[in-house]
Amino acid sequence: MIDLVGGVPLYVLEFGDELVYFTPYTITLFLLALTFTILVLISRPEKQVDIAFGGDAYRTKEISVSEMRFRRFMAIACGLATMGAMVTGDIFNFTLFTAMVGITNVGIVAAVKSPHVQDAAYQYGLVSLSATIPLFGGAAVYAATTGSLSMIELMKGTVPAVPLIAKGMLMLGVIGEGMAPFYAAKAEMFRAPGAPYVIMCSLSSLLIFLRVVEIVMLG
C-alpha cells in the first residue's frame, strides 16, 4: 500500500455501489477543482478587447446576460463533473465523469455566436465523442480481466493484473478529451470571450489527466 502514487487512502466511503475515497493526491486535485468552481460561481466574465492595429481605437465585445448565464451554468457543471472524477473510486464512474467533462466543455463555448468558435467546438466534440469508445472499452476490459471496477480492490493487489491494453485504452480515452495530440481543436475554442469559463475547459482536462495517471498505476 505504501508505494501507491496517490498515497494511502485517508477516507473511504462505500454507499451501495458508489465508492468514494480520498488520498492526499486526490484531495489536492479535488480542492483545486472546488476552488476554481467557486471562482467561476462568483466572478464576472471578462470582456475581450479588440484593438485596431496602428490606431487608438479599441472596442470591447458585449456578452448578453442569457449567454453569460448559460456558460456559467455549463462551467459549474464542468467543475462538478471534474470534482466527481477526482474523488470517485469506481473505474466506470470515472469514465462517465470524463465523458461528461467532454460534453460540458462543448457546452461552455456552444452559446458563443462566433462561427469560428462553433466550428472548433464541433470538431472538438467529434474527437471527444470518438474518445469515449476507448474510454468505455478500457473500463469494460478492466472489469473483464479483474472482475472488479473498484479502485480499492485494485490497490489491494488481490485481483489479477490489469492488461496493458486496458490501461492504454483508458489513457487514450482521457487524452482524447483534450490532451496533447488532440488539443488542436480545443485550442481554437479558447478564442471565445469570457475568461473564467473558458479556462475551465483547460483545467478540467488537465485534472482528469492527473487523476488517470494515478488510476493507471493502481492495478
Partner 1 sequence: MWDQYNLGLLCVLVAGVIGFVALARETDDLHRLLLLDLVEITALGVIALLGTDLAEALVLPGLTVGIAELLALSQIYITKEGLKERPVRGLNIEVIQKADAPAIISGFLVVYGLVLSGFTGGGVAGLGLVFWFMSRGYREDLNMLEMASGISWAIWIFAFFVFMFFPQYWFIALMGAAVGIVLKVTVKMSLVGTMWGEQHD
Where does this chain bind partner 1 (CB under 8 A)?
Answer: 92, 96, 99-100, 102-103, 106-107, 110, 115, 118-119, 121-122, 125-126, 128-130, 132-137, 139-141, 143-144, 149
- Distance of alpha carbon 83 from alpha carbon 93, whole angstroms: 12
Distance CA 62, CA 46 (A): 10
Q: Which is nearer to partner 1, 51 or 187 (CB)?
A: 187
Of 144 and 184, which has the nearer Cβ to partner 1?
144
Relative to beta strand 18-22, strand 49-51 is unpaired
Q: Which is nearer to partner 1, 6 or 193 (CB)?
A: 193
We find the least distance from the C-beta atom of residue 118 to partner 1, in angstroms, to be 4
State residue 65 phi and psi, 5-degree precision.
Answer: -65, -40
Distance of closest approach, residue 39 Cβ to partner 1, in angstroms = 24
Q: Is the dihedral of CA 42, 36, 33, 116 positive or negative?
A: positive
Nearer to partner 1, 11 or 122 (CB): 122
* Dihedral sign computed on CA atoms, order 144, 149, 151, 154: negative
CB of 110 to partner 1, least distance (A): 5
Nearer to partner 1, 35 or 130 (CB): 130
173 membership: H or E segment, kind and range: helix 164-176
